[in-house]
Amino acid sequence: MKVSRKVLGAAIGALLAGTVSAYADTIKVGIIGPFSGPFALQGKNFQAGVEAYMALNGKSVKGHDIEVIYRDLPAANPAQSRALAQELVVKDKVQYLGGVYFTPDAMAITPLLKQANVPLVIFNAATSAIMTQSPLVVRTSFTTAQTTTPLGKIAVERGVKKVISAVSDYGPGVDAEVAFKKAFEAAGGQVVEAIRMPLNTNDFSPIMQRIRDSGAEAVFAFLPSGPTTLGFVKAYNETGLKQAGIKFFAPGDLTQESDLPALGDGALGLMTTFHYAVSHDSPENKTFVEAASKAIGGADQLSFPSVGAYDGMHVIYKMIEATDGKQDAQKAVDAVKGLSWTSPRGPVSIDAETRHITENIYLREVTKGADGKTYNKEIQTFPNQKDPGLATQ
């Protein structure tokens, strides 16, 4: 093979300058998420976050090209999740795993990480205990304990003394129920009844009846974002609970921006706490929303999984930088312990002990903007919240 002097000269120059490795290589990153089915928009938000990050920060790290491989997991399915992760590691030879929307799917992957020598960077799955399953997990989303703890005090401050809680009956729902109750009762409130709804519930009218019959002044709710949350909030709006004056407190999963058009004016006034609003006012978020909107095909489709993915890619890029492309999962994870940066959501860091993200939690209210569209307006900030979840169990 003949190589021109010019090309050879440039390559040697780059080598001497230390900007490229001796051999151009490709680092593969496997992303698992719901890219089809009822939760497809959540997966598309993962992809939009990844693409936005790569568009703004380049597609290589220290001369190592980054290739992202997406694998579709439409619904919570631990066996399929494990099979996809295994295939990505063994067949596709990925050095990093990322994504994962549902908790049971993340739980199913953690036992593989050590032998595979692969870190898992979770973009969403929000149960506190996932972090205890493997030292090779880092999380850039939130936990439901983290997002709901500030709500306990907020509810009491707004004159609410009796609450009924209604949560999806699995990890993040149980964590939300426990964390809210702890904070609410510490502030002087009382949870009069706790409903756990099967994950596949789609007729919420019997639940609304139980809420009405309980005598509570407010409902606290958690369900995983998607068709589930839309159905629940619609039922709250349309079965008379709202008119009856029963207040509503929930984490922001229940008012994700991509659901707001379908909820219409019925969503006005809904109070939620969360780590990210698409409307967050900062230069970093403006840049992010522009890039992610382009990737997903319109700002109205964006919601929180995009920012978990964007920051997840930031963490993976830092891991690749620290290991210079070599496969060393423990070294990669150790390199991001204590890492801090300015995310589109605000200031964040990776807690060195738990490997979970420390972030601001915001109180928001669904409000109508000057353009006539509803949005989550941030009205109060709870700064630098760690995950209190493991302590409450």
Options 52, 112, 126, 207; binder of ligand PHB; rule CB under 6 A:
126
Q: Is 102 in the site for ligand PHB (CB under 6 A)?
A: yes
Task: Name the residue nearer to ligand PHB (CB basis): 25 or 169.
Answer: 169
Contact 176, 148 (CB under 8 A): yes
H or E element, residue 72: strand 64-72
- Residues 202-261 interacting with ligand PHB (rule: CB under 6 A): 224-225, 253
- Scan for tokens 């009956």, then name that residue: 169
Cα–Cα nearest to 149, from 111, 119, 179: 179
Rounded CA-CA distance 265/251 in Å is: 19
The nearer residue to ligand PHB, 126 or 320, going by C-beta atoms, is 126
Show the tokens assigned to 301.
């489709």
- Annotate each residue in 163-202 with x if it binds ligand PHB (CB under 6 A) or - if it does not, as one string: ---------x------------------------------
Least distance between ligand PHB and beta carbon 127 (Å): 5
Cβ 64 to ligand PHB, closest distance in Å? 31
Nearest distance from residue 44's CB to ligand PHB, in Å?
A: 15
Q: Is 147 in the site for ligand PHB (CB under 6 A)?
A: no
- The H-or-E segment that residue 96 falls in is strand 96-99
What is the three-class DSSP state of 274?
strand
The stretch near ligand PHB (CB under 6 A) out of 99-107, 179-187, 261-269, 380-388 is: 99-107
Select from 45, 81, 103, 360 the one that contacts ligand PHB (CB under 6 A): 103
Distance CA 312, CA 306 (A): 10
Q: Among 16-24, 30-38, 118-126, 322-330, which window interacts with ligand PHB (CB under 6 A)? A: 118-126
Q: How far apart are CA 289 and CA 52, in angstroms?
A: 9
Minimum CB separation from ligand PHB for residue 172, in Å?
Answer: 4
Q: Which three-class secondary structure state does DSSP give residue 250?
A: strand
Q: Does 125 interact with ligand PHB (rule: CB under 6 A)?
A: yes
Q: Three-state DSSP class for 337?
A: coil
For the bound state, the minimum distance from the C-beta of residue 203 to ligand PHB, rounded and expressed in Å, comes to: 20
Q: Could you say which of 127, 258, 285, 303 contacts ligand PHB (CB under 6 A)?
A: 127
CA–CA separation, 253 and 256 (whole Å): 6
272 binds ligand PHB (CB under 6 A): no
Q: Which run of H or E residues covers position 193?
A: strand 190-197
Task: Write the DSSP assignment of 18-36 as a string of letters.
Answer: TSS-SS-EEEEEEEEE--S
List residues binding ligand PHB (CB under 6 A).
101-103, 124-127, 172, 224-225, 253
